[in-house]
Amino acid sequence: MKFRRVIPFIVVVTAHVSASSSSSGSSSSIGLNGWYPCSESTFSDEGGSANQDAECAVYTAPLCYPGICENPAFVTTTTVDIFVKRIAALNDSKTATNVWIMQGGPGASSTAMESTMVELHARLDGTVNVYTMDHRGTGRSTLLDCVAAQSTTTGSPWGSGIDTAE
């Protein structure tokens, strides 16, 4: 397969999950701090706080899930914060289908997905909840850092570029 243009890899996952699509600002046992109004566009030329048509939240997740991995003894924080943004369905967001749009990276935050979120929400006539998140220590989520790896490597020979050999 030949591509004429290289674009960021977008993963779209659709699911019916009523618990996570509630518009209420209340916390639940899943670690969500509550939804608050935010702009569809993180970086806008317009400025100001008008047009806050999206909602944002921070989900606190375990660093290691039981049975999957164990936190190293030197780790003092056993959770990571994950920034999540959504544009809720116009009617019943509790029962609407959830669509996740993920930045494919590497190392990029969800801000590049915001225009895609807005466009998808509009094309589907506002019938779905559209979500994105800052994953893998990107953007507004907890930074993932490995000091031990930094002390044993000079970094990529290609600098910030990515080579297929990496």
For residues 94-98, average pLDDT: 95
For residues 99-116, average pLDDT: 81
pLDDT in tens, 54-90: 999 999 988 888 898 888 888 888 888 888 999 999 9
Give residue 104's pLDDT: 74
Give residue 18's pLDDT: 33
Handedness of CA 115, 116, 121, 122 (dihedral sign): positive
Question: Angle CA(83)–CA(110)–CA(158) in degrees, nearest 5?
Answer: 120
The answer to whether the beta carbons of residues 9 and 20 sit under 8 Å apart is: no
pTM: 0.64
For residues 26-39, average pLDDT: 70
The answer to whether the beta carbons of residues 67 and 114 sit under 8 Å apart is: no
Residue 29 has pLDDT above 50, yes or no: no
